[in-house]
Amino acid sequence: MNMAVTQLEPYILKGSIKVIDRFFSVPVDYTKPDGPHIRIFARNLIPLDEAKGSGTDAAESDLPYLLYLQGGPGFGVDLSLSVDLGNALHKKKYQTLWLDPRGTGLSTPITADIFQTKKMDDEAIAKYLKHFRADNIVRDCETIRHFLLDGKKDPEARKWTIFGQSFGGFCAATYLSFHSDGLKEVFITGGIPPMVDSPDSVYEALVLKVEERNKVYYAKYPQDVRNVRRILGFLEDNNVVIPNGGNLTVSRWLQLGVQFGSHGGIDRVHQLVFRAITDLDTFGKLSYGLLDSVQSAQSFDTNPIYAVLHEPIYCQGRMAGWSAHRTIQKNDRFIWGKVKFMRDAPIYFTGEMIFPDMFRDYRHLRPLQGAAELLAHDEDWPMLYDKEALKKNKVKVNAATYYDDMYVDFGLVQEAASVIGNVEQLITNQSFHDGIRKHRDNILTTLFDLSKRERD
């Protein structure tokens, strides 16, 4: 496949890090290589001191590649993460490659206004979005790997190492399933994927962890039982519009609970509750500052893939059918219409879950409502994992698994880990899902120790 590549002028960051930014042109649909193309952005960080200090006068290009696969789905790579985590990885004698997965960041983005500009109907939008799951992200990676490494004489030098955080780990498992011959080694943090065909079992497990985190929240801030009830009562009785034109509804306020799964998230939600109550006491309404803070805390407007494909990332030949919504309906503690009649009862916040009403409440999801409905009831999803190939896997997989992960259920992870060959895990209850940010050095040290496969 002929591929157009645009390489921008390199520059040097503090710390002698050479940066090479590239755009790769790839097909939207790999079964139609002559069809429409999109651009994929990848930022290459090369530690010049490590290249010079290798003891062999190695050229920059001789440093082996480590490709970072971002969490999500639907998020590009944060520059500060690439520098901070990159510095730690560079000490392991890698040059790093930071991919904005298709549809995110500087890669050709998925946004509602682009679809409106192209005048695409719901069916066309849904068909287009189906090409933005892990299977095609991995195909993009392979396209880039071939471009960068096919010229190497040593076959082993044509392989690279990958590092998947969260959904990036899901992509890593897809990579191992279908393109393991391109991999030297795999590192995963919080992202061994449940080996399921639909998300139902995922949410049935995760809702228990969300309940647990709610209990921790209200135990820490018992005054918030009445405070949250008061806020929801106000939202129920008033039409509250946030700065970008979206609606702040009862459901949307409870979605702040997604933060319960990360370090400091419980405290951040409490601060929003505290500010909202202060506003109601002072002004009888919610201030612009509070509404802006809520808007900033929720990323669905700017990262619509996170909403539209969040459930389909689990689908293999089965529909998602608004799985989280159906699961939540079974538990009265999450249903304001019932809890409000239970005197002094806490209402539970929801977790990393997608609901149909989000496509009304978030302004930039509204144009995608029809497509989301079509995708929710689509059964034609290709396979993401090959269990037989994974059982025979010989590529070293080193994974950090978090016992108290609110986004990726520990039990389902262990079931999946038992399927994948050559996996070693760091299992800890001292980190949440974002442990690679909070406890980076400890986690990396242990993962690279696991990589040695040394036995007592």
Say which of 405, 409, 431, 434 is annotated catalytic: 405
Residue 294 identity: V
- Overall size of the chain counted in residues: 456
Treating both helix axes as pointing N-terminal to C-terminal, what angle do 224-237 and 200-220 enclose, rounded to 10 degrees?
Answer: 120
Say which of 82, 107, 166, 431 is annotated catalytic: 166
Please identify which residue in the block is written with the tokens 């990262």.
303
Q: Residue 170's Cα: distance from chain center in Å?
A: 9
Sequence-distant (6+) residues with CB within 8 A of 188 are 163, 164, 165, 168, 169, 172, 397, 398, 399, 400
Helix (H, G, I), strand (E, B) or coil at 190: coil
Take residue 213 and report the two structure tokens written for it. Answer: 């985190």
Q: What are phi and psi of 160, to 5 degrees?
A: -140, 170
Please identify which residue in the block is written with the tokens 């393109």.
179
Question: Is 364 an active-site residue?
Answer: no
Question: Is 433 an active-site residue?
Answer: yes
Question: Is 224 an active-site residue?
Answer: no
Look at strands 37-47 and 95-100 and give their pairing. Answer: antiparallel
Say which of 90, 310, 325, 433 is annotated catalytic: 433
Look at strands 160-165 and 183-189 and give their pairing. Answer: parallel
Neighbours of 337 (CB within 10 A): 9
Instruction: For Cα atoms 156, 162, 167, give the angle at the middle one, nearest 5 degrees.
Output: 155
Closest alpha carbon to 38 in 112, 113, 140: 140
Per the DSSP assignment, residues forming a β-bridge with 23 are 6, 41
* Phi and psi based region of residue 354 (left: phi greater than 0; alpha: psi -120 to 50; beta: remaining): beta
Take residue 436 and report the two structure tokens written for it. Answer: 């690679």
Half-sphere exposure of 393 (CA within 13 A, CB side): 31
Query: What residues are labeled active site?
Result: 166, 405, 433
